Amino acid sequence: MSPPNGILLYTPEDAKRNRWFIEQLCTYAESENLSLRLCLTDSPKTHKLVMQDADFIVNRSRSYIHSSVAQNVRHIPCFNSAEVTGITNSKYLTYCVLHGEHGIPMAKTWQFSRSNPQPELPFPLVAKPADGHGGEGVAWIADRAALEQYAAAFDAAHPEPTYPFLLQEPVVTGWDVRIYMLGGEIYAAVLRTSDSDFRSNFSLGGHAEVIEPDADMHALVSRVQQIMPLDFAGVDLLRHPDGGYVLGEIEDAVGCRMLYQLTELDPAKDYMHLIAERLKAQG
């Protein structure tokens, strides 16, 4: 019997940056008696491969459409699920679903566009693209003039007149904890801090150290997991100025460089083992 045939989805840009990790995923898939092929989301063959050839999808592209086709048309497993990919890669949808519908604590958030009049806003604020990741495009907005400057630059980069960005009330700056979830359990937790930037992203030069999550962190990520089952993802927690933690965002295609640099863990190996066990259990 031939091994289950998997498609590993990446954008062309992310595939270039993550070549080593892609090789690790494919190597460990083979050791689990799985076949895993890289497929770029801009390839005209992608839709055909998903529709006809794949037995399962590993989506690291942040694109919802291919997972939706696989899961809802082909009825084959997707890691992460189409629902997770569709919700978590829109920061405002994440806010509406997890905070608005389920009461998960998050920083107050507004969606801003030229066609969407805003109420009076409580400056300072943090601005960020609705679909951004890695701290890219995030800016500190001290006042109305800074907001107009950010909005003008954002609109120039996004020709669509209604393309939105987000504004959020700031929390404790230069501090967050990324909790890696694997198979519904905490896999690792990394505290990220910065003394020079209000953003704490490791990729932007922040300091990172492995920590043991406390009881409040466990409780919050458990609530998130119950609402939105995560196969392998990062849950970012922030500190509220009044105390306690709030959910920052969920990284669907979570990066693993910190884990390889700071720990002896092998996320590529462990993720493919999880996938193999899930496929066996589903028959």
Sheet-wide strand order for 245-251 = 207-210, 185-193, 175-182, 232-239, 245-251
Residue 53, pLDDT score: 87
Closest C-alpha to 107, from 246, 245, 200 = 246
- Among 176, 177, 178, 281, residue whose Cα is nearest residue 232: 178
**How far does the chain reach from its first CA to its final CA, in angstroms?**
14
The alpha-helical segments, DSSP class H, found in the chain are 12-17, 19-31, 46-48, 64-68, 82-88, 91-94, 144-157, 215-227, 257-262, 267-281
Dump pLDDT digits (tens) for 159-214.
766 678 899 999 998 899 999 999 999 999 999 998 756 555 555 557 899 999 99
Within 10 angstroms of residue 115's Cβ, the number of other Cβ atoms is 8
What local confidence, expressed as pLDDT, does residue 196 receive? 58
Contact status, residue 109 vs residue 97, Cβ threshold 8 Å: no
**Torsion sign, CA atoms 246, 248, 252, 253:** negative
Give the start-to-end residue ranges of the domains of the chain.
5-87, 108-168, 172-267
- Position 215 scores a pLDDT of 98
The set of residues, in sequence order, having a beta carbon less than 8 Å from that of 152 and lying 6+ positions away, is none
In this prediction, residues 145-154 reach a mean pLDDT of: 89
Other C-beta atoms lying within 10 Å of the C-beta of residue 151: 17
Q: pLDDT band at residue 283, thresholds of 50, 70 and 90?
A: confident
Q: Confidence band (pLDDT; 50, 70, 90) for 102?
A: very high
- Report the C-alpha gap between 21 and 68 in whole angstroms: 24
- CA 117 to CA 107: how far, in whole Å? 20
Q: What is the CA radius of gyration of the chain?
A: 19
103 has pLDDT over 80: yes
Of 1.10.760.10, 3.20.20.70, 3.10.20.30, 3.30.1490.20, the CATH number of 108-168 is 3.30.1490.20
Q: Which of 7, 24, 15, 59 is nearest to 233 (CA)?
A: 59
Tokens of 255: 């990066």
- Options 3.30.470.20, 3.90.209.20, 3.30.565.10, 3.40.50.300; which CATH number does 172-267 get? 3.30.470.20
What is the token pair recorded at 277?
Answer: 């066990």
Q: What is the pLDDT of residues 230-244, one digit of tens each?
A: 999 999 999 999 999
In this structure, whether the domain defined by 5-87 belongs to CATH 3.40.50.20 is answered with yes
Residues 9-58: tens digit of each pLDDT: 999 999 999 999 999 999 999 999 999 999 999 888 888 878 788 999 99
For the whole model, what pTM was predicted? 0.92
